[in-house]
Structure 1
């Protein structure tokens, strides 16, 4: 079974993480966000099932557990006799993953409960809540009674065109159910350390997807770019544009902050990008899932043989 651990816990997660980091800012953001997060979630699920299978094997290696089940602990240990550490490392990874998943779920429920305090407030016909608050904030509250919350501080800082772009951006988050993609990304990051490096690129990708949807709705990419810049400046008083040029070089763009990169992407000419590279992480994730099924089958055969 050791080859399953190498492929599904070491090689495939690293390949998926590398592919997603490379492709996140190089493809059409609306399609890329869905496909890349789905591939990530599939790879994370495969990894979790695999380490859980090895954790079960670790427990079956203990005489105190194997004996009542009439399983030969020596037979189970012999399967990975050359790598005795793999079962116990998997057990530790399983415990860490379960704790991480519970932590993400708890934080998500807390944040959802906080955000939904605003669903009962009076809203306009298009479900916009204008909150009397000097702070400049705007966010979407998903759910059956979805709302877009904008503070008076944010509204006062934007002109009518920028405000329309802001609302279109938040509406895009709700329509595309981006909150689910972000939750899946955080749950996946709790399973494998390599996936934690993807949270920032995927968060950026989701914001870019909302930017593009808003630009398409308003048919004005510059208006959305100006709204993003204006909202970022008033929402964070310490933010500085840093003299970013309208068309920065690629090397400069890679090291720029998220907001300048989003603005620069909207101001740049929109070209057609092939979605074919999305097949790479999807195929790696599919391969990992297939091998996970075989890993579970091999574990069942091992335990059955150990009983005999």
Structure 2
């Protein structure tokens, strides 16, 4: 436990360094899955590590040690962590738990509100046209979801470009991109070091939808032109108010992590050949997550042995 318990925390420092390479070099769908899994696993592993360290401090408290049938005096001699480390870990764990719970509650409320709003919108084939001259388009999660487009956006784009826009927004709904954003933000709430991963996912889901639109249109250059044209039009006029924070749009400007998906990077990616799976980055991500999981399991086992030892010395 002396080393293993700190491994997830150290890996959380290294993981953000790989967020940009994964988002830029891996196929967008794979990149989204890798980043989401990394945020969740490392977020959970770091919280467990903090919990294990906090327990080593709790067993030194005589009252708690008595309830667990442990020897507080022997715990002071055999405990691998300093009391100050255990106390700091406990405070960090409390803060992480509160932040994660608040994030989860907000996301559940937001998605529920989005689903209710989507259910109340009159639609044909899942498309809702809003009377607004400000160019905008976004996907609203629901059962089923809705694609919302302003009349201003319909006027800016031609028929082919509007079909590309629809394909992009429908990709957000069919692939449940809002869930990937919510899960990575949950991991980042539990461990703020992982925020670059959540930021990267808000970019990769846009790239994922762009690639779906390119496949449907059969013309990557036309999709790149549509993305740039829609973004330029929206920049000139204020967009219509969002129905809910769960909305995802072709402009890639949804939520507090909006700076993750700059349009120029997406346009450049569409003008280049499609990305591959990049086995090296995939293997490196898998190795990091495996190391974090095994280290957490090893630390938990070591704590179990510690508790048995201080229990035997009572």
TM value normalised by structure 1: 0.86
Listed as ranges, the gaps of 5+ residues in structure 2 are: 239-259
Q: CA RMSD in A?
A: 2.4
Q: Indicate the residue corresponding to 1:263 in structure 2.
A: 267
The answer to whether residue 299 in structure 2 is matched with residue 295 in structure 1 is yes
Q: Indicate the residue corresponding to 1:236 in structure 2.
A: 235
Give the match's secondary structure for 1:119: helix
Structure 2 CA distance for aligned equivalents of residues 270 and 71 of structure 1 = 60
Q: Indicate the residue corresponding to 1:137 in structure 2.
A: 136
Deviation sequence 1:226-264 (CA, Å, 0-9, x none): 22112212323389xxxxxxxxxxxxxxxx971111111
The Cα of 1:153 is off from its aligned counterpart by 2.5
Give the match's secondary structure for 2:104: helix
Rate the CA distance shift 1:123–1:83 in 2: closer, same or farther, 3 A: same
The Cα of 1:81 is off from its aligned counterpart by 5.8
The Cα of 1:142 is off from its aligned counterpart by 2.5
- Say whether the 8 Å CA contact 1:162–1:224 is kept in structure 2: yes
The Cα of 1:15 is off from its aligned counterpart by 2.6
Structure 2 CA distance for aligned equivalents of residues 257 and 191 of structure 1 = 23
Rate the CA distance shift 1:258–1:67 in 2: closer, same or farther, 3 A: same
Structure 1 CA distance for aligned equivalents of residues 302 and 95 of structure 2 = 24
- Say whether the 8 Å CA contact 1:15–1:284 is kept in structure 2: no
The Cα of 1:82 is off from its aligned counterpart by 6.2
Structure 1 CA distance for aligned equivalents of residues 81 and 43 of structure 2 = 26
The Cα of 1:215 is off from its aligned counterpart by 0.5
Stretch moving more, 67-76 or 43-52? 67-76
Q: Indicate the residue corresponding to 1:166 in structure 2.
A: 165
The Cα of 1:164 is off from its aligned counterpart by 1.0
The Cα of 1:272 is off from its aligned counterpart by 4.5
- Say whether the 8 Å CA contact 1:29–1:206 is kept in structure 2: yes
Rate the CA distance shift 1:78–1:162 in 2: closer, same or farther, 3 A: farther
- Say whether the 8 Å CA contact 2:26–2:275 is kept in structure 1: no
The Cα of 1:99 is off from its aligned counterpart by 1.1
- Say whether the 8 Å CA contact 1:104–1:190 is kept in structure 2: yes
Structure 2 CA distance for aligned equivalents of residues 279 and 269 of structure 1 = 23
Structure 1 CA distance for aligned equivalents of residues 131 and 57 of structure 2 = 57
Q: Indicate the residue corresponding to 1:202 in structure 2.
A: 201
Rate the CA distance shift 1:56–1:283 in 2: closer, same or farther, 3 A: same
Stretch moving more, 104-113 or 291-300? 104-113
- Say whether the 8 Å CA contact 1:101–1:190 is kept in structure 2: yes
- Say whether the 8 Å CA contact 2:36–2:180 is kept in structure 1: yes
Structure 1 CA distance for aligned equivalents of residues 228 and 131 of structure 2 = 22
Rate the CA distance shift 1:78–1:183 in 2: closer, same or farther, 3 A: farther
- Say whether the 8 Å CA contact 2:35–2:197 is kept in structure 1: no
- Say whether the 8 Å CA contact 1:58–1:87 is kept in structure 2: yes
